[in-house]
Structure 1
Amino acid sequence: MIKYAIALLFSVSMLNAQNDTAKQINVDVGDIFEIGKPETNKYKHIDFPRENFIIKRGGIANYKRAEGATVVVTSVKEKKDGTTQIKFKRKDGGRFFGSHTVIQADYHEAISSGELMAP
């Protein structure tokens, strides 16, 4: 009997753990976020352009200047695989690295890793 009780408690706890990870905050156009510090040297879930593309367009490839920038969501797109792709621009109207106006990111992954934060 104790084996059945343990198995029941284990399965209930696994179902609750799955429900907690499924809860995600929805994002709308016009929401404001702040770019955070990446866990590694490079941003993994925010699709910043590579250094050679920034330099070709006349910009300065300094990813540390992007930290702390306040951004506004301009478009939200649900992909077939279930991910949410967002595009955002700087709130002050400037350009990222002096060359790019709009950047895209995987919303759920960027929020969970801390690359995007609510202000």
Structure 2
Amino acid sequence: MKNLFFSLVISLLFFSNYTVAQDANLSFKKGDTFKIAQVENNDYEAIQFPKANFIIKRGGIFSYDRIINEEVEIHSVDKKDDGTVIATIKRTSRGKFFNSHKYIKVDMEKALERGELVRI
């Protein structure tokens, strides 16, 4: 009786239409373009901009005014074990961010949710 019940449960689980929610609508690939939006008080959480002292050490100019409305494209995409999508972005104008950094890492889902990046 136990074997029958166990096999019935296993077969129901195996043949059921059980689906896991996936982020099919949030697919990111290399070459997708976005625009950096202005955030209140320059509080960027999803875009991992370097700290001011690292920008200045590398000879750059630290000012968020230089990056607002700047078009960026995805250089590479990496999906972590917890499901977050981390992308490396670069400017489409082939310049550097703050005249010091060529690439910046971004948590894409969080950036779109918070309005830090806008899809073009």
Per-residue CA deviation, residues 91-114 of structure 1 (Å, 9 max, x unaligned), is: 010000000000010000000111
Partner amino acid, structure 1, of 2:64? Y
Give 5+ residue unaligned stretches, structure 2.
1-19
Q: How does 1:1-119 map to 2 (within 5 A)?
A: 24-119=25-120
Aligned AA (1:115): E
Counterpart CA distance in 2 for 1:41 and 1:33 is 18
Give the aligned CA root-mean-square deviation in angstroms: 1.9
Q: Distance in 2 between matches of 1:50 and 1:32?
A: 24
Task: For 1:92, give the aligned amino acid.
Answer: S
Name the SS of the counterpart of 1:110 in structure 2: helix
Paired positions, count? 101
User: Are the counterparts in 1 of residues 70 and 91 from structure 2 also a CA contact under 8 Å?
Assistant: yes
Larger displacement relative to structure 2 (38-47 or 70-79): 38-47
Any idea what SS the aligned residue of 2:65 has? Answer: helix
Q: 1:65 to 1:92 in 2, by over 3 A?
A: same
Identity across the alignment (%): 41
Q: Deviations over 1:3-42 (max 9, x none)?
A: xxxxxxxxxxxxxxxx999664211001010001124432
| Larger relative helix fraction | 1
8 Å CA contact 2:74, 2:90 repeated in 1: yes
Whether the 8 Å CA contact 2:42–2:64 is kept in 1: the answer is no
Query: 1:61, 1:85 → 2: CA distance?
Result: 24
* 8 A contact 2:46–2:106 mirrored in 1: yes
User: Normalised by the size of structure 2, how large is the TM-score?
Assistant: 0.78
Tell me by how many angstroms 1:81 deviates.
Answer: 1.0
- What is the CA–CA distance in structure 1 between the aligned matches of 2:29 and 2:79, rounded to whole Å? 12
* Residues 33-70 of structure 1: CA deviation (Å, up to 9, x unaligned): 00011244321110000000000000000012111000
